[in-house]
Structure 1
Amino acid sequence: MQTDNDLILDHLNDPIFHLIGEVADEMNRPCFVIGGYVRDIFLDRPSKDIDIVTLGSGIELAEAVTTKLGKRAHLSTFRNFGTAQVKYSDQKENIEIEFVGARKESYSHDSRKPIVEDGSLQDDQNRRDFTINALALCLNKEHWGMLVDPFDGMNDLKKGIIRTPLDPDITFSDDPLRMMRAIRFATQLNFHIEKETFAAIERNRKRIEIISKERIIDELGKIIRSDIPSRGFILLDDCKLLPIIFPEVAALKGTETIEGRGHKDNFYHSLAVLDNVALRSRNEWLRWAALLHDIGKPRTKRYDSRLGWTFHNHNFIGEKMIPGIFRKMKLPLNEKMKYVQKLVGLHMRPIVLAEEVVTDSAVRRLLFDAGDDIDDLMFLCESDITSKNREKVKRFRDNFELVRTKLREIEEKDSIRNMKLPIRGEEIMETFGLPPSRPVGEILSAIKEAILDGKIPNEYEPARLFMLETAATMNLFPTKK
């Protein structure tokens, strides 16, 4: 079994670390690899991002290293920030190395941008967000591989603890994004946040308002992409950050009982669906659809003394909410948004089919509306079954399998997925001497409905005959050529 020291020496055996250490020694500069790369050595996680801190100018060290690497390396400098990036390719992979001079930071109350001064290694470790990210390994020959761990971060790593190096109130007030990062790391690594650190997140939660939506959604995206994303959203709710950063999801939480009749907590249900999807799919946007599939329920919740609690049309309301949510959260307003919107809008359709007699017409319409996303929609709906009643779950899954069989049969027979009508609007206008107008749209709609209802096959001649018959009922007649 490898010791911690064996792990360190094994990872530092890469020629790039020896080269950086040699250059630092030539320049008489203390030099360390620090942060996430060191943390991930002990977590046995792959990490390509290497952060190097040195006493003095990080840019000067980066320039000297680039010179040694020669044509394999590309240097980018960011003099306003005192940092530099070296990209180079070895025989196995492309590597990025960030160089920075050790520094200390101070903050004003209304900004997360620090005032930066030159500092010692201790100053640099003090400014790190968490103890597990403050670990440093020396690259100088005299102390090669020595671990510098002033905050007992190794012990926190072994115990699975997220904790700030200094007073958490100061850490989070200075840079409120660190509150999101604490929750993200706890989610990704399956760690727990130390009690006082977590309490400080709740105390400082309103400071998150100075952070841009882009930064927040970057952290939320990493939570969504984690193995068990529900853990992050539960933590966000527990520390009261969720209502500030994502009020629509926070509004799902809670139950209500009238006349002894209650409804399930749609927040925890949505998280269960999200975890179900995450178990089998890395598709980030399918995961977003899972989180947001019931987002319209708070706006549609009603109590009826005969029916109990109802959420009529919550899927359609949710579908309409998606563009506004994506715009506010700075999520992409492109095909990814439309994909999530489609799945939210359609997610009740397979469930209804699974509860009723499955007709060919209903399956054709589902195929037509879902198109190439039909498989993801079916997977989302299967993931939506979170009942603890095994018999109910089995019945739904059996019925979903029946729906899937019907989908395959209809697709093979009628080619409905992404269906293009065999008659185009131009032909209708030419046949009846019409300009672009409402009657043209009505005839096209009638042809589509006839195909979906199975009255005519999705073929040109039957569709043309149906067009003529429909036009006749509208007192339209072919023009003479």
Structure 2
Amino acid sequence: MIFQIRKDERKIFEVIGRAAEDLNFPTYVVGGYVRDRLLARPSKDLDIVCVGSGIDLARRVGDCLHPRSRVTVYKRFGTAALKHRDLEIEFVGARKESYRSDSRKPTVESGTLADDQNRRDFTINALAISLNKHDYGTIIDPFNGLEDLEAKRIVTPLEPGKTFSDDPLRMMRAIRFATQLGFTIDPATFRSISENKERIKIISWERIATELNKIMLASRPSIGLRLLDKSGLLDYVLPELAALRGVESRNGRKHKDNFIHTTKVVDNLAERSDDLWLRWAALLHDIGKAKTKRWEAEAGWTFHAHDAVGERMVPKVFRRLRLPNDKLKYVQKLVALHQRPISLTQEEISDSAVRRILFDAGDDIDDLMTLCQSDITSKNPHKVKRYLENYEGLRQRMSEIEEKDHLRNWQPPITGELIMETFGIPPSREVGLIKDGVREAILDGAIPNEYSAAYERMLVVAADLDLSPQKS
């Protein structure tokens, strides 16, 4: 089969082909670029394999391009890269690999194109396009990857047990590709993932997190989350989520499967937002339920304070997966607050309650409301409609109070420095009590959100603490 080379590809393919011919290096486009082009998906990463030195080929190509492209060399890995227009092009010499059982880092030696295709993770990633004069544009497909593309199937090129034992990260990648592409995983391949799941322990948390993030950014993350659960990998990579699975029944009363519920919430959120960290908040919003589940004779199954417990669990997840610290507080905040708007739609809403959620959520209030709307997973359309209408009513109320009181990311007009200066006291418990008293008065609506009223309330609170202003 001949690959249909587009006009925008022709020039760079021909430049690479001529440079390879000059060096007498048989050269091929391989892997993800080929797969994505055949699937009509956008791709900006072009991987070139040559039977020879990838570094030498990259330098020759860089010299041939106009304007000349700067080549970045990674001697340790025997690779080189250059940027051409909107393409990131990586060059590597064909190689074969062998692995030790306690490491995913292979012993590498030079090899043929066939050796290089043998080491690929899946048949759809082992496809190659020849850039050589005698068979230019021919698709080289030793493992029937074209058939698997057509069938939307993830299959390993070699025996799956060896593929996954050699590099256990491929188990995560299989699930990630199935999620991103909407493919199914071949039964024997999936069975091997389950059989080799413990091997994931030798993979660094950073690499696991990278695959999780790609699953989370898919249009339907639930596909990957449920495959992780079904394969047994979830117990190793996100045990807090795995602990939510299952339904328990007592006296004819049962609770919902909180794992399945969570996957639905993440999908709902994915329909509303592409924000990775808002999706992580959806993923972790109920992780406190496993620890707070209780049976109460009158109420049935309860999960009291699961939001607070979940808030305390989030840092452990972030530390283990090496997720960025600058996103931790954001996710924690949304997990901690996700029950608050729900309660505000189930009772007569006071201005004070609305002021407090605006103050606590700050600039993240819109994301919090998006999370709460995504948390509606009822199959009853009338319930869903009612809940969404209630949230829209709450949003409108928030907008009105925000416009009037300007509470988003608000700081009280009385500072700790002013309190210490006014009463001649050092940093102390009293300073905090006075600040709290002023803040609570504003949030309760007892005084307006302005300096003069706040100053007067400061004097009143201080008097209750037997503090008097210093005489000037």
Do they fold alike, i.e. is TM over 0.5? yes
Could you say which residue in structure 1 is the equivalent of 2:343?
Answer: 352
- Equivalences for 1:38-437 in 2 at 5 Å? 38-69=34-65, 71-88=67-84, 93-334=85-326, 336-437=327-428
Q: Deviations over 1:261-301 (max 9, x none)?
A: 10000001011000001012100000000000001000100
1:215-240 residue CA offsets vs partner (Å, 9 max, x unmatched): 10000000000110010010011111
Q: SS of the counterpart of 1:477?
A: coil
Give 1:59 shift.
1.7
1:452 alignment counterpart: 443
Q: 1:475 aligned to 2:466?
A: yes
Q: Match for 1:82: what amino acid? A: G
- How far the C-alpha of 1:152 sits from its partner, in A, is 0.7
Separation of aligned partners in 1, 2:196 and 2:162: 9
1:438 corresponds in structure 2 to 429
Q: Is the 8 A contact 1:11 1:41 kept in 2?
A: no
Amino acid at match of 2:56: E
Distance 1:348 1:324 in 2: 21
Deviations 1:85-139 (A, max 9, x none): 1223xxxx33221111111111111111111122111111111100000111111
Structure 1 residues 316-354: Cα deviation after superposition (integer angstroms, max 9, x where no partner): 0101111111001111112x1110000000000000001
- The answer to whether the 8 Å contact 1:104/1:116 transfers is yes
Match for residue 22 of structure 1?
A: 18
Instruction: Give the Cα–Cα distance (whole angstroms) in 1 for the partners of residues 228 and 268 of structure 2.
Output: 20
Structure 1 unaligned regions, length at least 5 = none
**Aligned mates of 1:445, 1:368 — CA distance in 2:** 13
| Cα distance in 1 for residues equivalent to 2:166 and 2:176 | 18
TM-score normalised by structure 1 residue count: 0.96
**AA paired with 1:192?**
T
Deviation at 1:71, TM superposition (A): 4.9
* Residues in 2 aligned to 1:68 and 1:459: alpha-carbon distance in whole angstroms: 68
Identity of aligned residues (%): 58
Which amino acid counterpart does residue 112 of structure 2 have in structure 1?
Answer: S
What's the CA shift for 1:12? 7.4
C-alpha distance in 1, partners of 2:58/2:426?
A: 69
Can you list the C-alpha shifts for 1:358-398, whole angstroms capped at 9, x where unaligned?
11000000000000000000110011011112222222112
- How far apart are the structure 2 equivalents of 1:328 and 1:170? 28
Paired residue secondary structure (1:151): coil
Distance 1:305 1:105, change over 3 A: same
Q: What is the alpha-carbon distance in structure 2 between the residues aligned to residue 369 and residue 13 of structure 1?
A: 52
Structure 1 residues 137-146 or 372-381, which shifts more?
137-146
Shift of the alpha carbon at 1:22?
1.0
Counterpart of 2:6, as a letter, is: D
Given that 2:272 and 2:370 are in contact with CA atoms closer than 8 Å, whether structure 1 keeps it comes out as: no
Inter-CA distance 80–464: structure 2 relative to 1 (3 Å threshold):
closer
Compared with structure 1, are the counterparts of its residues 413 and 12 closer, same or farther at alpha carbon in structure 2 (3 Å cutoff)?
closer
CA contact (8 A) 1:12 1:145 kept: no
Please give the root-mean-square deviation of Cα atoms over the aligned residues, in Å: 1.3
Runs of 4+ residues deviating >6 angstroms: none
The Cα of 1:26 is off from its aligned counterpart by: 2.0
Distance of aligned partners of 1:431 and 1:28 in 2 relative to their CA distance in 1, 3 Å threshold: closer
Instruction: Work out the number of aligned pairs and report it.
Output: 472
The Cα of 1:28 is off from its aligned counterpart by: 2.2
Per the TM alignment, residue 476 of structure 1 is displaced from its structure 2 partner at its CA by 2.2
Give the secondary structure class of the aligned counterpart of 2:70: strand
Amino acid aligned to 2:334 = L
Contact kept, 8 Å, 2:414 with 2:454, in 1: the verdict is yes
The secondary structure found in structure 2 opposite 1:164 is coil
**C-alpha distance in structure 2 between counterparts of 1:433 and 1:77, whole Å:** 64
Match of 1:73, SS?
Answer: coil
